[in-house]
Structure 1
Amino acid sequence: MLLITSIIAAILALIFIKLSLAVIGLRRKNKVGLGSGGHEDLERAIRTQGNFAEYVPIGIILIACLELNGAPWWLVAVPGIALIIGRLIHAKGMNTPPPDFSKRVLGMKFTFFTLIALAVLNLGWSLFYLAN
């Protein structure tokens, strides 16, 4: 079972829905069907949602692989929580006018370090089991 992954994925899905609703709301407000129509707030919302959609799937896949391969729950939960925190910080930094680049950068650091940690954990865990 993927209990930890399910919780993490559900939380990330809720965040994605919130980001998507923000884009939809700004599209309606600004009467823009495609693109940003030159509206900076809409452009930020679009990129925040897009960035989330670009990075989260690989994180969830790596978290699920780790859990499926029998890693302890905490070794799955900690990077999952870090991914959630990183994505929230990034979104806050992107959507606070003017963009708060320190939060944006911090959010991406959380995200990258988490993905790197997950890749290393998966490699290490898999190689450990292959060697035994």
Structure 2
Amino acid sequence: MDTITSGHAAALWVGLNLFLLLTLSLLVVRQRQRHKVALGDGGVPELAQAIRTFGNATEYVPAALVGLAVLAIVEAPPLAIHVAGFVFFVGRVLHAVGLSSSGGTSFPRAIGILMTWIGYVFLGAVLLFYAVA
């Protein structure tokens, strides 16, 4: 059996985050079709919420995916990539669930953003470690 490499670890989390973005995008499309709105949110709160949920993910996910890819390039241990990927991905899922179910504050949304930031800090710290090591 082959060993798991840094590239394999990063591929898992990049793939999962891409499917998360696709899912959130499909939820926007579903709301657009339901309310017959082609552009903008048409003043429909559910559509505005779906757009914002997808938009928030597109603001955070790309930088984390770059971080995971660079960790794979510098051959960081797969465990470090899995920790960063897991914390970040779970944070993004929780945030999306919280934001899509309530426009206000919610427990999943708060925990989700906290985990997202922890994932960012972990990624940044490990990247800086490999930059100077």
- Kindly report the root-mean-square deviation, in angstroms, between the aligned alpha carbons of the 2 structures: 1.4
After superposition, residues 1-132 of structure 1 pair within 5 angstroms as 2-97=7-102, 99-128=104-133
Secondary structure in structure 2 of the residue aligned to 1:2: helix
Deviation at 1:102, TM superposition (A): 2.4
**How big is each residue's C-alpha offset from its partner over 1:31-80, in whole Å with a ceiling of 9 and x where there is no partner?**
11111111111111101101111100100111111121111110111110
**Which consecutive unaligned segments of at least 5 residues does structure 2 have?**
1-5
TM-score in terms of structure 2 length: 0.90
Deviation at 1:99, TM superposition (A): 4.4
Number of residue pairs the alignment of both structures matches = 128
Amino acid at match of 2:10: T
The 1:66/1:98 distance shift into structure 2, 3 A limit, reads closer
Deviation at 1:100, TM superposition (A): 4.8
Amino acid at match of 1:108: I
Deviation at 1:98, TM superposition (A): 5.7
Following the alignment from structure 2 to structure 1, what is the Cα–Cα distance between the partners of residues 103 and 73? 42
Deviation at 1:101, TM superposition (A): 2.4
The 1:72/1:34 distance shift into structure 2, 3 A limit, reads same
TM-score in terms of structure 1 length: 0.91
Instruction: Please list every run of at least 4 consecutive aligned residues from structure 1 whose deviation after the TM superposition is greater than 3 angstroms.
Output: 97-100
